Amino acid sequence: MRDELLSLIEKNSRMGLDELSVLLGVKEIEVAQELAKLEEEGIICGYHTLINWDKTSIEKVTALIEVKVTPQRGQGFDRIAERVYNYPEVKSVYLISGGYDLLVTLEEKTLKEIASFVSDKLSTLDSVLSTATHFILKKYKDHGTIFDKKREDEREVISP
Amino acid sequence: MTKPLSKTVEGLKPSGIRKFFDLVSEMKDAISLGVGEPDFDTPWHIRDEGIFALEKGKTFYTSNAGLKELREEICNYLKRRQNVSYNPNEEVLVTVGGSEAIDIGLRALVNPGDEVIIPQPSYVSYEPCAVLAGAKPVIIDLKAENEFRLTAEELRGAITDKTKVLILPFPNNPTGAVMTRRDLEEIAKIVIENDIYVMSDEIYAELTYNGEHVSIASLEGMKERTILINGFSKAYAMTGWRLGYACAPKAIISQMTKIHQFAIMCAPTTSQYAAVEALKNGDNDVKEMRQAYNQRRRFLINAFKQMGLDCFEPFGAFYVFPCIKEFGMTSEEFATRFLEEEKVAVVPGNAFGESGEGFVRISYAYSLENLKVAVDRLGHFIEKLRAG
């Protein structure tokens, strides 16, 4: 049940216990217990809402920043990652294999704010060797959801 | 022209669905629960392989039997999933959908006057295909109290010395019924005793929700007398690609291949390349779709239970087949009024044979959101009917 439950609420975290219990074919109490367990184990880390900010009047600029760093003795990349992810404007931090080390996503109201974060905060950290900032121009798909996709049912209305 | 057309064809009843289709098509804002095909898109990696085949200019006929690579993958698949082994070189024929396999399979098996046993309710084309092949259809009316499974007793009662073929349509469209291994073993015993062929239409095999589907061809002594029909439409959401296949002993496949060669030449090449990809790398897609169908199935069965609508729990395909006899209407009256008053289309059960009278087919090849709206309307409709 665990995998199926996770894949259901990954797509729709607002599904109630009653509905989940019907869809999974188990009792509500079992769903509730499983959810509690998943939260406790840190498998479920939050119940977020996917918002297409482009459609609102709120301005948001998102940047992907590639960061090369010097790993620190005894702590590898974890220490520097922590320094970075503690900034609330940082949305995500991944350790990446390949040409650079950390991929940081940053969400701010203006380009200027992002520029100042990179130059004043990120680049000045001791272990940061270099950064490369990419601005996101348009989001087509996020978290498995395609934005702006309207689908008509093209099937014949009745078929044998 | 004054000369008459084929009496056999003119004598065929038009599909019972057609009339209803016209009615629904006129209604602009109706929700339909009437389709017999998946709502999912064909998984992208499969479509991509089709595109790639076109880009590479693979636009020629394939061999009559189908791409060798595809036949090999079909055999791997059947071994892996249904535990039955076929030789890709002489026991597999790739067809234009499962439907072609039904047609040419029957034509390859029967002589004029042979009897073909068809359990109903079932898919609409068995009976006309049997008639076109010159056979006499013998209908078994499956019963709700048996959850629309075929029983040994029913089969025995239908067999005569003219019986040639038994059509075995499970998992079943429209009822959603499945046959367990034990059910099949009893059927197999009688089939062998009476030396008849079985045409097993297993197009919904992957959409089974209470354990794995069992193919009758995998039972002792059955492979030699079975035409196993399957395809890509339902499992991989590939209806429009028109691709299916038949597996049977060489003696049968070679005859079927003759008809296929003259009537069709070969199944669409693009579709065949895409299908190779489906069989190689599509197991996970099938699993995900099955999981989604199963959730919707549970949702509908639960909803029917709450509104007190009589319905056995089906474990196959993507249909539920609730009984509407309590309302004192025919299936067509019920479906027509439901459409007119609540703007939801379901298919009258009698479209799939007389024994479907008193039932309607509801498809759950729709998103949960759609199903929720439809179920609300069904609840409303039923309450209205019960209030008189």
pLDDT tens string B105-159: 999 999 999 999 999 999 999 999 999 999 999 999 999 999 999 999 999 999 9
For chain A, the maximum distance between any two Cα atoms, rounded to a whole number of angstroms, is 68
Question: In the prediction, which pLDDT does B366 show?
Answer: 96
- Residue B26: is its pLDDT beyond 90? no
Contact of B102 with B248, CB cutoff 8 Å: no
Q: Please tell me the distance in Å from B8's CA to the nearest CA on chain A.
A: 22
pLDDT grade for A152, boundaries at 50, 70 and 90: confident
Which 3 state secondary structure label does DSSP give A86? coil
Question: In the prediction, which pLDDT does B18 show?
Answer: 82
B298:A24 CB<8 A: yes
Contact of A52 with A149, CB cutoff 8 Å: no
- What integer is the mean pLDDT of A137-148? 87
Looking at the DSSP assignment, which residues form a beta bridge with residue B357?
none
Which 3 state secondary structure label does DSSP give A25? coil
- Token pair, residue B335, equals 């479906």
Question: In the prediction, which pLDDT does B200 show?
Answer: 98
- What integer is the mean pLDDT of A135-139? 91
DSSP state of B143: -
Count CB atoms within 10 A of the CB of residue A83.
Answer: 17
Contacts of B114 (CB under 8 A, 6+ apart): B134, B135, B136, B162, B163, B164, B165
CB pairs under 8 A between A and B: 52
- What integer is the mean pLDDT of B273-286? 98
pLDDT grade for B19, boundaries at 50, 70 and 90: confident
**How many secondary structure helices (H) and strands (E) does chain A include?**
5, 6
User: Would you call the peptide bond into B121 cis, given omega within 30 degrees of 0 as the criterion?
Assistant: yes
Contact of B76 with B50, CB cutoff 8 Å: no
A160:B295 CB<8 A: no
B298:A159 CB<8 A: no
List the single residue in A with minimal CA-CA distance to B25.
Answer: A157
CA distance B142 to B150: 6
Q: Which residue has the tokens 């046993």?
A: B117
Between vectors from CA B207 to CA B202 and to CA B210, what angle results, nearest 5°? 110
User: Would you call the peptide bond into A160 cis, given omega within 30 degrees of 0 as the criterion?
Assistant: no
Contact of B230 with B244, CB cutoff 8 Å: yes
Cα dihedral value B63, B65, B70, B75, nearest 10: -150
- What integer is the mean pLDDT of A113-135? 93
pLDDT grade for B23, boundaries at 50, 70 and 90: confident
Q: Please tell me the distance in Å from B85's CA to the nearest CA on chain A.
A: 31
CA distance B110 to B131: 10
pLDDT grade for A85, boundaries at 50, 70 and 90: very high
CA distance B243 to B31: 28
- Residue B16: is its pLDDT beyond 80? no
Q: Left if phi > 0, otherwise alpha if psi is -120 to 50, otherwise beta: which for B115?
A: beta
Question: In the prediction, which pLDDT does A2 show?
Answer: 94
User: What proportion of chain B, given as a percentage, has pLDDT over 70?
Assistant: 100
Q: Please tell me which of the candidates B34, B296, B299 has its beta carbon nearest to residue A158.
A: B34
- Token pair, residue B243, equals 């691709």
- Residue A149: is its pLDDT beyond 80? no
Count CB atoms within 10 A of the CB of residue A119.
Answer: 12
- Residue B59: is its pLDDT beyond 90? yes
Contact of B344 with B33, CB cutoff 8 Å: yes
Contacts of A25 in chain B (CB under 8 A): 298
Return the higher-pLDDT residue of B330 and A152: B330
pLDDT grade for B369, boundaries at 50, 70 and 90: very high
pLDDT grade for A144, boundaries at 50, 70 and 90: confident
Contact of B124 with B361, CB cutoff 8 Å: no
- pTM greater than 0.90 (yes/no): yes
Inter-helix orientation angle B368-387/B331-342, to 10°: 110
Q: Which CATH number fits domain B60-281: 2.60.40.1260, 3.40.640.10, 3.90.1150.10, 3.30.70.980?
A: 3.40.640.10
pLDDT grade for A76, boundaries at 50, 70 and 90: confident
Sequence ranges of the domains in chain B: 7-42+284-382, 60-281
- What integer is the mean pLDDT of B332-356? 96
Instruction: Please write the tens of the pLDDT for every residue from A1-57.
Output: 899 999 999 999 999 999 999 999 999 999 999 999 999 999 999 999 999 888 899
pLDDT grade for B168, boundaries at 50, 70 and 90: very high
Q: Which CATH number fits domain B7-42+284-382: 3.40.50.261, 3.90.1150.10, 3.40.50.2000, 3.90.1170.50?
A: 3.90.1150.10
Q: Which of B217, B267, B246 is nearest to B104 (CA)?
A: B246
Average pLDDT, chain B: 96
List the single residue in B with minimal CA-CA distance to A25.
Answer: B298
DSSP code string of B174-233: TT-----HHHHHHHHHHHHHTT-EEEEE-TTTT-BSSS----GGGSTTTGGGEEEEEEST
Q: Please tell me which of the candidates A22, A24, A158 has its beta carbon nearest to residue B17.
A: A158
- What integer is the mean pLDDT of B169-175? 98
Q: Please tell me which of the candidates A19, A23, A159 has its beta carbon nearest to residue B37.
A: A159
- Token pair, residue A1, equals 């049940």
Question: In the prediction, which pLDDT does A54 show?
Answer: 85
CA distance B362 to B380: 16
Average pLDDT, chain A: 92
Question: In the prediction, which pLDDT does B73 show?
Answer: 98
- Residue A73: is its pLDDT beyond 80? no
Question: In the prediction, which pLDDT does B17 show?
Answer: 83
- What integer is the mean pLDDT of A96-118? 93
Question: In the prediction, which pLDDT does B133 show?
Answer: 97
Question: In the prediction, which pLDDT does B29 show?
Answer: 84
Could you tell me which residues of chain A have a Cβ less than 8 Å from any Cβ in chain B?
4, 7-8, 19, 22-25, 153, 155-160
- Residue B22: is its pLDDT beyond 90? no
Indicate which of A11, A152, A157 best probes the interface with B, i.e. most B CBs within 10 Å of its own CB.
A157
CA distance A84 to A136: 20
Could you tell me which residues of chain B have a Cβ less than 8 Å from any Cβ in chain A?
15, 17, 20-21, 24-25, 30, 32, 34-37, 39, 123-125, 173, 291, 295-296, 298-299, 302, 345, 347, 351, 368
DSSP state of A160: -
pLDDT grade for B20, boundaries at 50, 70 and 90: confident
Beta strand segments in B235-335, E = 244-247, 319-320
Indicate which of B21, B40, B361 best probes the interface with A, i.e. most A CBs within 10 Å of its own CB.
B21
